[in-house]
């Protein structure tokens, strides 16, 4: 039974233990919880008021009611999902606990699943209050988008995990010197995945790159839903298939970086 095989095995009990560990941490620190809500709320308010202003200025903005607010909420799922995933990992480095964990029967796959669970928990802690604020301030009911919300959420959270895996792997290999990646990697997607404007805005050559990114399909799907009142199912399936591809590649990459860290001794020296 090699590391490569055990890497794929998952014990619900050990995953539960790690989720409990992160939950204890979150519960012990109210600034951590406030941080999950604060920035999404500020972002939503800024874009919400901008949308209100534009509605008075252009007919397109009037037709696409909630497009900016919806986009900012979806962007936050992607960004916070990745940060939530990566922070759980960084917490182990900050507390110098990684070697302790790696000496337990905990498998890399179980650590990853626990990070995924905590990523969803952190996203929901931020998203639910902010979506309620969106209803109160702007009359935009995010949850009223129905099934589309589930499709958007699934695709964005999957992308966030892929990015989180790459960032965690790099931190594992390069130490906390690579921590900046965990905070900034997702922003690389911001201009490319067309959060606030349609893909057609980009130069043609860049559109191909943009369409290879699952979040582009989600943000295009949101605009289609709000402007044309139509849910673009095939586009969501394309995004999902792309996500499977990227997640598989990111998992394999994480496995390789972990092996590399075991070769270089980085697991024992998880500082800067």
Partner 1 sequence: MKAMRAEIPAISIVGLAKTYRAVVAVDGIDFSVSRGSIVGLLGGNGAGKTTTIAMIMGLVLPTRGTAKVLGTDMARDRHRILHRINFESPYVEMPKRLTVRQNLKVFGALYDVPDRARQIDKLADELDLKDLLDRETGQLSSGQKTRVALAKALINEPDVLLLDEPTASLDPDTADWVRTHIERYRRERHAAILLASHNMPEVERLCDDVLMMKAGKIVDRGKPAELITRYGRQTMEEVFLDVARDRRKQVAE
Contact pattern for partner 1 over residues 184 through 223, marking x by CB under 8 A: ----------------------------------------
Burial of residue 29 (CB within 10 Å: 0-12, 13-18, 19+) is: exposed
Instruction: Report the alpha-carbon angle 32-33-36, nearest 5.
Output: 95
Q: Is residue 100 at the binding interface for partner 1, with CB under 8 A as the rule?
A: yes
Q: Is residue 227 at the binding interface for partner 1, with CB under 8 A as the rule?
A: no
Q: Is residue 33 at the binding interface for partner 1, with CB under 8 A as the rule?
A: no
Angstrom distance (rounded) from CA 82 to CA 184: 10
Of 110, 105, 200, 195, which Cα lies nearest the Cα of 159? 195
Minimal distance in Å, beta carbon 16 to partner 1? 7
Q: Is residue 20 at the binding interface for partner 1, with CB under 8 A as the rule?
A: yes
Of 17 and 178, nearer to partner 1 (C-beta) is 17
Of 7 and 142, nearer to partner 1 (C-beta) is 7
Q: Is residue 97 at the binding interface for partner 1, with CB under 8 A as the rule?
A: yes
Angstrom distance (rounded) from CA 267 to CA 99: 6
CA 131 to chain centre: 17
Q: Is residue 263 at the binding interface for partner 1, with CB under 8 A as the rule?
A: yes
Quick one: which of 58, 104, 184, 248 contacts partner 1 (CB under 8 A)? 104
Minimal distance in Å, beta carbon 102 to partner 1? 6
Of 67 and 258, nearer to partner 1 (C-beta) is 258
Contact pattern for partner 1 over residues 76 through 95, marking x by CB under 8 A: ---------------x---x
Q: Is residue 272 at the binding interface for partner 1, with CB under 8 A as the rule?
A: no
Minimal distance in Å, beta carbon 101 to partner 1? 7
Quick one: which of 59, 200, 265, 272 contacts partner 1 (CB under 8 A)? 265
Q: Is residue 42 at the binding interface for partner 1, with CB under 8 A as the rule?
A: no
219 touches 194 (CB < 8 A): yes
Q: What is the DSSP letter of 10?
A: -
Binders of partner 1 among 111-150, rule CB under 8 A?
A: none
Q: What is the DSSP letter of 102?
A: H
Count of chain residues binding partner 1 (CB under 8 A): 36
65 touches 144 (CB < 8 A): no
CA distances from 149 to 141, 154, 156, 203, 231 (A): 11, 8, 10, 29, 10
* Count, residues in the chain: 272
Angstrom distance (rounded) from CA 271 to CA 75: 31
Of 165 and 261, nearer to partner 1 (C-beta) is 261
Q: Is residue 29 at the binding interface for partner 1, with CB under 8 A as the rule?
A: yes
String of DSSP letters for 185-243 = GGGGGTTTTTSSS-GGGS-HHHHHHHHTSHHHHHHHHHHHHHHS----HHHHHHHHHHH
Which residues of this protein are in contact with partner 1, per CB under 8 A? Answer: 1-3, 6, 9, 13-14, 16-18, 20-21, 24-25, 28-29, 91, 95-97, 99-107, 259, 262-265, 267-268
């Amino acid at each position: 039974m090699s590391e490569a095989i055990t890497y794929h095995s998952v014990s619900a009990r050990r995953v539960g233990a790690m989720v409990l560990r992160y939950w204890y941490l979150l519960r012990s620190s109210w600034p951590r919880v406030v941080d999950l809500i604060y920035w999404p709320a500020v972002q939503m308010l800024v874009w919400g008021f901008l949308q209100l202003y534009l509605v008075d200025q252009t007919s397109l903005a009037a037709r696409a009611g909630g497009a900016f607010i919806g986009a900012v909420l979806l962007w936050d799922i992607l960004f916070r999902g990745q940060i939530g995933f990566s922070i759980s990992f960084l917490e182990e480095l900050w507390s110098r606990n990684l070697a302790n964990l790696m000496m337990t029967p905990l498998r890399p796959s179980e650590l990853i699943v626990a990070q995924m669970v905590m990523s969803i928990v952190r996203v929901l802690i931020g998203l639910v209050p902010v979506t309620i604020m969106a209803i109160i301030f702007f009359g935009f009911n995010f949850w009223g988008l129905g099934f589309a919300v589930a499709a958007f959420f699934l695709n964005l959270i999957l992308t966030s995990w892929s990015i989180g895996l790459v960032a965690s792997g790099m931190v594992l290999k390069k130490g906390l010197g690579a921590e900046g990646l965990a905070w900034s990697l997702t922003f690389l997607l911001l201009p490319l995945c067309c959060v606030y404007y349609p893909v057609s805005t980009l130069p043609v050559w860049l559109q191909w790159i943009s369409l290879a990114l699952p979040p582009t399909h989600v943000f295009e799907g949101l605009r289609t839903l709000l402007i044309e009142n139509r849910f673009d199912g095939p586009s969501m399936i394309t995004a999902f298939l792309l996500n499977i591809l990227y997640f598989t590649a990111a998992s394999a990459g994480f496995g390789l970086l972990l092996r590399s860290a075991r070769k270089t001794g980085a697991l024992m020296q998880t500082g800067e």
